């Protein structure tokens, strides 16, 4: 780990919500280990929108999935690093008064990668939520919108459901047991049958109604018209934009601390893209959620994000303020990316492209990954890895990993 990173190894400074440090995710393949994510480090400041930019296959989605432990192992291998996350729970050591372990925040800091299945499940969908790239694929085609959005409340907001149903205090004995099974989706054949008949069916209907209310509120939050009607539909009956709104509603249902948006507009029509993007931005501002926004579109990221990290072939090549990176890119790859953006001032029929191909990530050699395509290549670019370092002493936040600036 480079010494000038702003986090220490097992804590977060006060204003950070999450910190990725030296994350390494490899995948086994017949040709060898694919180093998809190879030592990625970045921070997410509480309440900001952080952009992660890179072309297809550079490892940005893998990084995002690592937050939720959604990488299948095998073939995936978590080869190292950590993702520290500030949870809502009180710090165990100082019980909220602030100590060194929790950087005086009073909140427990966990390493998402080393949590057990049960612990990460508590965070998933509740404190950390994810919006997927293609809403057509990320919604189950066989279940109604209602039952899919409801699952978030059933999993994380059991007490809210009972409270809204108005039976929180009156429940007892068998009814309570059955309804809890029902909400937790743990019913078996017998309990399901029991819930179909009075007196249990009456309480169950109240619970259903409460869940309906929660779902319809969540859908209304994302400006879905006729939420009550949409609820009973199946995903294939909705348009792409509508489906993505459902996904967003599902993700923000529990008001998460961190929202991971994995190319949320890529699969949508251009006209819908802007509206979905505005929706995310608007929700982020209102709920003060931190967002990790993943995209291959630099201009899009500039529009919504506060800070940006540019990824290339499994590594972060440049990170800093969104505006700074756009106006004053340092890394040759970032420069190439920005040049490649089509704009009104371009001559017709002329579009810049970065020459060459993305290198193979199977057992990569030492040296800068971009060296083979770089026009400003120097002698040591092929031999040693450049480190991510601040560009100047004035601006510590703008960092680049390139020998040109050493």
Radius of gyration (C-alpha) of the chain in whole angstroms: 24
| By CB under 8 A, residue 242 contacts another protein | no
- What six digits make up the tokens of 29? 């393949």
Q: What does the alpha-carbon distance between residue 82 and residue 259 come to, in Å, rounded to a whole number? A: 18
Rule CB under 8 A: say whether 152 interacts with another protein. yes
Residues 161-190 within binding reach of another protein (CB under 8 A): 185
CB of 117 to another protein, least distance (A): 8
Q: Which stretch binds another protein (CB under 8 A): 13-21, 51-59, 141-149, 345-353?
A: 141-149
Give strand ranges (E) for 142-220: none
Is 142 a residue that touches another protein (CB under 8 A)?
A: yes
Cβ 240 to another protein, closest distance in Å? 14
Which residues, other chains included, contact 261 with Cβ-Cβ below 8 Å and sequence gap of 6+? Answer: 130, 131, 280, 291, 292, 293, 294
Instruction: CB nearer to another protein: give 43 or 151.
Output: 151
Considering CB under 8 A, how many residues would be counted as binding another protein? 31
Cα–Cα distances in Å, from 271 out to 192, 248, 275, 282? 45, 18, 7, 18
What distances in angstroms separate CA 26 from CA 62, 76, 312, one per listed residue?
A: 10, 6, 15
CB of 99 to another protein, least distance (A): 29
Least distance between another protein and beta carbon 405 (Å):
38
Any idea what the Cα angle at residue 341 is, between residues 338 and 347, rounded to 5°? Answer: 120
| Candidate residues 44, 66, 139, 183; the one interacting with another protein per rule CB under 8 A | 139
Q: For the sheet containing 76-90, what is the strand order? A: 32-45, 16-29, 76-90, 107-111
Q: How far is the CB of 184 from another protein (least distance, A)?
A: 9
Task: Please pick, from the candidates 34, 66, 123, 298, the single residue that binds another protein as defined by CB under 8 A.
Answer: 123
Looking at beta carbons only, is 69 or 334 nearer to another protein?
Answer: 69
When the beta carbons of 91 and 138 are compared against another protein, the nearer one is 138
User: Which residue's CB is nearer to another protein, number 125 or number 320?
Assistant: 125
Q: How far is the CB of 294 from another protein (least distance, A)?
A: 14
> Judged by CB under 8 A, which stretch of 91-99, 132-140, 305-313, 382-390 contacts another protein?
132-140
Q: Is 121 in the site for another protein (CB under 8 A)?
A: yes
CA dist., res. 212 & res. 241, Å (int): 22
Whichever of 185 and 299 has its CB closer to another protein, that residue is 185
Q: Counting contacts by CB under 8 A, is residue 76 touching another protein? A: no
SS3 35: strand
Residue from 141, 173, 199, 349 in contact with another protein (CB under 8 A): 141
Question: Which of 38/151 has CB closer to another protein?
Answer: 151
Stretch that binds another protein, among 140-148, 204-212, 347-355, 382-390 (CB under 8 A): 140-148
Q: Is 113 in the site for another protein (CB under 8 A)?
A: no
Distance CA 311, CA 401 (A): 11
What is the Cα–Cα distance from 297 to 342, expressed in whole angstroms? Answer: 11
What phi and psi values does residue 145 have, to the nearest 5 degrees? -55, -45
Chain positions 313 to 352 lying near another protein, rule: CB under 8 A, are none
DSSP three-state, residue 177 = helix
C-beta neighbour count of 220 within 10 angstroms: 15
The C-alpha angle 30, 36, 40, rounded to 5 degrees, equals 155
With tokens 């050493």, the residue in question is: 406
| Cβ–Cβ < 8 Å for 277, 303 | yes
Helix (H) or strand (E) holding 52: strand 49-53
- Identify whether 74 is preceded by a cis peptide bond (ω within 30 of 0): yes
Shortest Cβ 115–another protein spacing (Å): 12
For the chain, the residue count is: 406
Among residues 122, 160, 306, 321, the one that binds another protein under rule CB under 8 A: 122
The closest of 129, 113, 68 to 260, measured between CA atoms, is 129
Q: Confirm or reject binding of residue 126 to another protein (CB under 8 A).
A: yes
Contact letters for another protein, residues 28-67 (x by CB under 8 A): -------------------------------------x--
Binding site residues, another protein, CB under 8 A: 65, 68, 70, 117, 121-126, 129-130, 132-134, 137-143, 151-152, 155-156, 185, 234, 236, 247, 250
């Amino acid at each position: 780990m480079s010494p000038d990173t702003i986090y220490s190894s097992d804590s977060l400074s006060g204003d950070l919500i999450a910190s990725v440090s030296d994350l390494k995710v490899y995948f086994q393949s017949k040709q060898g280990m694919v180093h998809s994510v190879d030592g990625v480090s970045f921070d997410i400041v509480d309440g900001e929108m952080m952009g992660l930019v890179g072309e297809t296959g550079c490892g940005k989605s893998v990084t995002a999935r690592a937050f939720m432990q959604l990488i299948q192992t095998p073939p995936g291998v978590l080869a190292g690093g950590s993702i520290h996350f500030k949870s809502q729970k009180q710090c165990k050591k100082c019980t909220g008064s602030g100590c060194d372990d929790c950087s005086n925040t009073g909140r427990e800091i966990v390493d998402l990668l080393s949590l057990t299945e049960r612990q990460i499940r508590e965070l998933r969908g509740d404190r950390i939520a994810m919006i997927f790239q293609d809403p057509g694929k990320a919604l189950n085609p066989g279940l109604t919108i209602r039952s899919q959005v409801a699952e978030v409340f059933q999993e994380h907001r059991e007490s809210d459901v009972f409270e809204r149903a108005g039976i929180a205090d009156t429940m007892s004995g068998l009814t309570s047991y059955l309804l809890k099974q029902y909400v937790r989706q743990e019913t078996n054949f017998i309990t399901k049958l029991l819930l179909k008949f009075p007196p249990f069916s009456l309480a169950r209907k109240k619970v259903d109604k409460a869940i309906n209310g929660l779902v319809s509120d969540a859908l209304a939050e994302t400006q879905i018209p006729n939420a009550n009607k949409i609820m009973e539909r199946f995903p294939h009956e909705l348009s792409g934009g509508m489906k993505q709104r459902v996904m967003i509603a599902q993700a923000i249902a529990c008001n998460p601390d961190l929202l991971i948006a994995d190319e949320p507009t890529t699969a949508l029509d251009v006209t819908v893209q802007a509206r979905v993007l505005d929706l995310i931005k608007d929700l982020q501002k209102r709920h003060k959620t931190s967002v990790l926004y993943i995209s291959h579109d630099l201009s899009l990221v500039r529009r919504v994000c506060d800070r940006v990290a540019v990824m290339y072939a499994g590594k972060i090549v440049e990170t800093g303020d969104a505006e700074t990176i756009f106006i004053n890119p340092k890394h040759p790859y970032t420069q190439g990316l920005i040049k490649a953006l089509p704009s009104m001032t371009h001559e017709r029929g002329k579009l810049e492209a970065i020459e060459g191909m993305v290198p193979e990530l199977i057992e990569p050699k030492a040296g800068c990954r971009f060296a083979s395509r770089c026009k400003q290549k120097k002698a040591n670019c092929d031999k040693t890895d450049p480190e991510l370092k601040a560009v100047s002493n004035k601006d510590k936040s703008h960092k680049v990993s390139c020998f040109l600036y050493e």
